[in-house]
């Protein structure tokens, strides 16, 4: 999604410098929100080493990933990880994914599940993500 960060700075004389920054990911300008891939059905729990079925729209789907939820401490997120569950090309309404190999690859807990579609813009290829589904691994 789009992000906006606003703030400012105050010096000893009471003057303030306003600061505003915004970010819009490139895929939003390539295709509209209604054209992004969509996960319409997913398991609530993904088990290690097992096959699971994912219902998707607006494919083909080229990648399915798990992204660990943040665990920020002291400006460093030691829990951040991205686990690829599918890498190829799947066209249709259903896709079979494999759960992570074991808890060393993906420790038990909650993750964001994304389906990604590869789009060629002419000058480069961009992976366009679906909205995340929160699932549990374990």
Q: Which of 95, 91, 92, 135 is nearest to 112 (CA)?
A: 135
Work out the average pLDDT over 82-110: 94
Work out the average pLDDT over 49-71: 92
Q: What's the distance, CA 110 to chain centroid? A: 13
Alpha-carbon distance of 90 to 21, in angstroms, equals 37
Q: What's the distance, CA 20 to chain centroid? A: 25
Binning pLDDT at 50, 70 and 90, where does residue 31 land? low
1 pLDDT above the threshold of 80: no
Q: What's the distance, CA 117 to chain centroid? A: 12
Write down the pLDDT at residue 79: 73
123 pLDDT above the threshold of 70: yes
Write down the pLDDT at residue 14: 66
Alpha-carbon distance of 40 to 119, in angstroms, equals 20
Whether 110 and 135 have beta carbons less than 8 Å apart is answered as: yes
Binning pLDDT at 50, 70 and 90, where does residue 28 land? confident
Write down the pLDDT at residue 42: 96
Q: Which of 16, 55, 14, 19 is nearest to 37 (CA)?
A: 55
- Token pair of 39 as six digits: 């996960």
**pTM for this model (two decimals):** 0.79
Distance linking the first and last C-alpha atoms of the chain: 28
């Amino acid at each position: 999604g789009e992000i906006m960060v606003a703030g400012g700075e105050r010096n000893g004389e009471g003057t303030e410098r306003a600061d505003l920054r915004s970010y819009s990911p490139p895929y939003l300008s390539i295709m509209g929100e209604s054209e992004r891939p969509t996960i319409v059905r997913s398991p609530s729990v993904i088990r290690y080493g097992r096959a699971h079925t994912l219902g998707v729209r607006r494919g083909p789907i080229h990648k399915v990933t798990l992204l660990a939820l943040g665990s920020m401490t002291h400006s460093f997120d030691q829990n951040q990880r991205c686990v690829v569950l599918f890498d190829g090309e799947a066209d249709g309404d259903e896709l079979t994914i494999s759960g992570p190999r074991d808890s060393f690859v993906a420790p038990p807990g909650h993750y964001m599940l994304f389906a990604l579609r590869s789009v060629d813009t002419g000058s480069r290829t961009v992976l366009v993500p679906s909205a995340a589904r929160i699932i549990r691994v374990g």
